[in-house]
Structure 1
């Protein structure tokens, strides 16, 4: 009876530790490409200096805050990219330590490429950015789709 009371909490602790370790390993492994319409991960991109530098380039090219509460488009792709190590960003739009970004790109003409930025300090923020390198990024990782809207959002 006493042994059963001890085993249940131990099992929960082991499961939680396993989940945490699994999440840490997947963050180090790289990025995940998610097809929003299908609702599934379609590709993984290995972590590399090139990938990390691409994200830093986008972060340095922020053009404004997303004004809509609906950050995620109804179709297109989302690419979740952890920053390893986290990146300290100081700009006109935000200051903080970026731990992860999610890049949203839609096929809709009215949805512009958007970064959802997660920070240690402030939680998250949605921003638009200059997307001149987006097509080459998508081509490099073989996720390019000519129907994706890669036009930079108008600055308001």
Structure 2
């Protein structure tokens, strides 16, 4: 009985560790394939780039269907959370998703405190960011 409890605790500890490590990674998701292509360990430089993109918000991205059928999503966790405050949003953001469409300039997706997605246009050097990720769409 004690062996079973220890085994269950050990397995749950491993599972929690794997989940925690996954949440601390940048994910590059191929929309058309429906799968993550690459995991990249988060570092301060990449987080600072994501924060720069959030500071560079220029407006709301308004389309009926904001997720394209082709392209890539790059999810960047932010730890600690980053306060985004402008005329369109006033939220602590703990992750940002950059949407790379094959037909238009990249834009951002963040979630508000009610977990609703918000989409924004922004200014920023995404080419250099992709180079740092060693990824070319």
TM-score grouping bracket, smaller chain normalisation: 0.7 to 0.9
Higher relative strand content: 2
Q: Select 1:118's aligned residue among 91, 104, 111.
A: 111
Contact 1:96–1:122 (8 Å) recurs in 2? no
Deviation at 1:39, TM superposition (A): 1.2
Deviation at 1:121, TM superposition (A): 5.7
> Unaligned 5+ residue runs, structure 2?
1-7
Matched, 1:135 2:135: no
Contact 1:36–1:75 (8 Å) recurs in 2? yes
Q: Select 2:89's aligned residue among 94, 99, 105.
A: 94
Q: Which residue of 2 aligns with 1:103?
A: 98
Q: Which residue of 1 aligns with 2:80?
A: 85
Deviation at 1:34, TM superposition (A): 0.6
**Matched residues, number:** 131
**3-state DSSP of counterpart to 1:26:** helix
Task: Output the CA distance in 2 between the equivalents of 1:46 and 1:76.
Answer: 22
Aligned-residue Cα RMSD (Å) equals 2.5
Structure scoring higher RCO (CA < 8 A, sep ≥ 6) equals 2
Deviation at 1:21, TM superposition (A): 5.7
TM-score normalised by the chain length of structure 2:
0.81
TM-score normalised by the chain length of structure 1:
0.72
Structure showing greater Rg: 1
Deviation at 1:69, TM superposition (A): 3.0
Trace 1:7-156 onto structure 2 (pairs within 5 A): 22-28=18-24, 30-108=25-103, 111-120=104-113, 123-131=116-124, 133-145=125-137
User: 4+ residue runs of structure 1 moved beyond 6 angstroms?
Assistant: 15-20
